[in-house]
């Protein structure tokens, strides 16, 4: 007899692979927005570095949300919402800082 681990991937590994695929697809779809906009207007002018940083930021936020959701599944709903709101706020603050440099002039 073989155990589940010996026969192949465990259910957790399969679920994690699906989650990674979802984050990757969501990141790609979101990055299509500025890519398409660049074809129609000069107002959007992203470089390869901009796309790379945005991809890292979006994928990182998505993976952080997934990992956090798995770790706090037993928490009360309001606690989970508050934690996701904190993650979203941190993501938005970093995005804005990189875009326009509100606090430290890291962007543009």
CA-nearest of 64, 52, 70 to 90 is 64
pLDDT of 15-31, one tens digit each?
888 889 999 999 999 99
* pTM (two decimals): 0.76
* Whole-number pLDDT of residue 7: 59
Residue 68: pLDDT over 80? yes
DSSP 82: H
pLDDT of 42-54, one tens digit each?
999 999 999 999 9
Q: Which residues contact 75 (CB under 8 A, 6 or more apart)?
A: 83
* Whole-number pLDDT of residue 3: 54
* Whole-number pLDDT of residue 19: 87
Beta strands in 1-108 (DSSP E): none
């Amino acid at each position: 007899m073989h155990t589940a681990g010996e026969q192949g991937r465990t259910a957790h590994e399969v679920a994690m692979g699906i989650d990674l695929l979802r984050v990757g697809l969501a990141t790609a779809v979101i990055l299509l927005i500025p890519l398409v906009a660049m074809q129609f207007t000069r107002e959007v002018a992203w470089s390869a570095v901009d796309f790379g940083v945005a991809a890292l930021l979006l994928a990182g936020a998505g993976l952080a949300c997934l990992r956090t959701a798995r770790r706090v599944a037993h928490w009360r709903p309001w606690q989970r919402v508050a934690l996701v709101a904190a993650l979203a706020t941190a993501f938005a603050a970093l995005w804005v800082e990189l875009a326009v440099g509100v606090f430290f002039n890291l962007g543009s």
